[in-house]
Structure 1
Amino acid sequence: MFKSTKIEYLPPNVFRRLEERKNKARQDGKYVIDCGTANPSGAPPAEVVRTLQKAVEVTENSHYAPSHGTREFREAIANWYRVRFDVEIDSESEVHTLLGSKEGLFNISLAYLGHRDVALIPDPSFPTYHDGAYMAGADIYRLPLRKENGYLPDLDSIPQFILKRSRILFLNYPHNPTGAMAPPEFIKEAIAFAKEHKMIICYDNAFSELTFDGKIAPSFLEYAGAKDVGIELFTFSKAFNMSGWRLAFAVGNRHLIGSLIECHAEAHTGMFPAIQLAGITALKDVWPTGFLAEQRKDYQRKRDYALHKFAQINWPVDKPAGAIYLWVPIPKRMTCEEFAEMLTKKYGLLVAPGIGFGDTGEGFIRMSMTCKYDDFERAVDYLCEAIQTLR
């Protein structure tokens, strides 16, 4: 069957491959511990669920919603940014509701990139940054993130002939997959860099509420000049255990938000109003409670168990400051794809091969901490056993 050349040459999607591997293992009768797809095992907040249940029964909520979100939801987002980050957001022109942050991360490239434009993409990073730019017809310039640089891109290393065509820089801290956080000096540098080279910044802030050891993640928009050059995206998927609800939003520069709304309107209608009402409950009623603190406590407990076990076998794994992943180096006797496949076949353990997040991911796996604690302990023990066998 015919495929477009863009689809034909699109790199294989790491998450689709993980689903296929998981389904195959289950068909073979294995109990699968999913540390690959980052699907939170915890329940959404009860208040959020009750709001949805009640809202579904209201006939008006079955009607089409505004493309950029209901007024009530946009106002709740603006109020949350004021309370959480001390950032003023105009709910009319600087907010856009998304069907999951993945939609916005993809569409921003469709809105701002064309043939021969360049997208500056960290490596490793969430694959959608690349995929959106690729589908927009742009060229991609990878910015390697390495431990010795604190997993920050070296903006000064970008050649001038690349900078002349660069139109967008993607950033994401706390970082998927390494868990690194960016110091304020780097964010300020990035904003000045974007202004100097007349490009925009798309800041993926998916994990602002999931940080460890008392650290607090800022909003990109807290920094002077950020709203002049960029937008920020937030998702309810991980913080509120609502990954299947597909609820997220973008905030920031009104011109960028307007372009996202235009892209959205061409392919989608508005978000189901009942889910937007549930989102209001999450931001207004759940966020001030201890729900997020318990989330952080659970993930930090898993992180600390894993780091302790890795230390016992003298295996170097960086301590993530935030997000929900461990970026684990693997023995050199296998590629990361081979190692991940072996873990599934031998132990029923699903992890994401690092190469799925960029070329610098070869030699690593991404281990999600989203499964239940008992399963996570077993997963870490299996992984340590495999490492010791192959080291």
Structure 2
Amino acid sequence: MHTLQQLQSGQLAGMTRLDLGCNLSQFPREIFELADTLEVLNLSGNQLSTLPDDLPRLKKLKIIFCSNNDFTELPAVLGQCEQLEMIGFRANRIQTIPATALPLSLRALTLTDNHITTLPDEIGHCAQLQKLMLAGNRLTALPASLAGCSQLELIRIAANRFAALPEVVLHLPRLAWLAYAGNPFCAELERRAAMHQIDWNELEIGVKLGEGASGQIYQARHGANHVAVKLFKSAVTSDGIPHCEIAASLAAGAHPNLIAVHGQIANHPEGSDALVLDLIAPNYTPLAQPPSLASCTRDIYHASTTFTPAQAEAIYEGIASAVNHINSRGLIHGDVYAHNVLCNQDGGALLGDFGAASFCSPVHRQALLEIEQRALAHLHAELSARTI
């Protein structure tokens, strides 16, 4: 994280990325001193409510993040930034999106946890859009023009106010990762999910094992068993809301290639949502890392990562079997990615993270399964490309 003093003193001259979170209430004009080089501007965690009309002076700007600020409208000036590919305004108080706020070069739009009720029809002009994050808003419909976004691969519309699954998403030719839980049309299916509970006081919490976008993982003991505990961070995650993940995790049932879920925690002293899961052996590691800013929707594999044909086949067949099992239980996983797969040297593979999982309605089942199969096809292609 940079400081305002560094910026004002000229120490950051020539920077391509600026991270400035220091309780700002106004856009620092000194940022324009970086106009010839700045590509990534992160102003998250401030008190900003506007951006300057001359923002396009940052002629190389590709990415802007203004999450956790005080915006009530997505700034229209963003649409004038011709190189802008990625916009992130999570957890503001945004209610409206002006038609002119969306640059044609847009690849990723994150507006999670706002107060948005409608999207402008002009979003259909964003032909390069690959990733659309809208969980935790007040949407009741998506514009039919979204069909023009034929490159869309990932959509999050969980925790909104949809009375039915928007038909337009079912016909997007490249869509592979979809989350829509926590909407009125799937509430009944989510309520039916069995919720086995484990009392917090029965657990001995140990060391922290890791942390993701939605929660923190701790080692724990439950009676004689070594387990893991996932404590959710907030009411709205990038994929949806905790109670939907919990319902889907328990509804998925047992499978050799799924990380087993023991139950939901009750009586947490701070009222936090939490799950008890199997503690995975340390020889299991993530297959890949989540997408980068540059890759947008595709996972990042270490350059040295390779597989024998037997390993690649075992990993893929195991995950495909787990996905088919989930689908047979009336769910889509919604996030079949290598970064959600743990594997060992023998090709043993475990699929986890049900944060994007959603219950399938019978009327849309076939279309939803086709979307899930595209995600599996991407995983297969990634494994094949690294097979020696």
TM-score bracket for the superposition, by shorter chain length: under 0.3
Q: Report the TM-score when normalising by structure 1.
A: 0.24
Q: Which has the larger radius of gyration?
A: 2
Higher helix residue share: 1
TM-score (norm 2): 0.24
Specify which structure has the bigger relative contact order, considering alpha-carbon pairs within 8 angstroms and separated by 6 or more residues.
Answer: 1
Higher-strand-fraction structure: 2
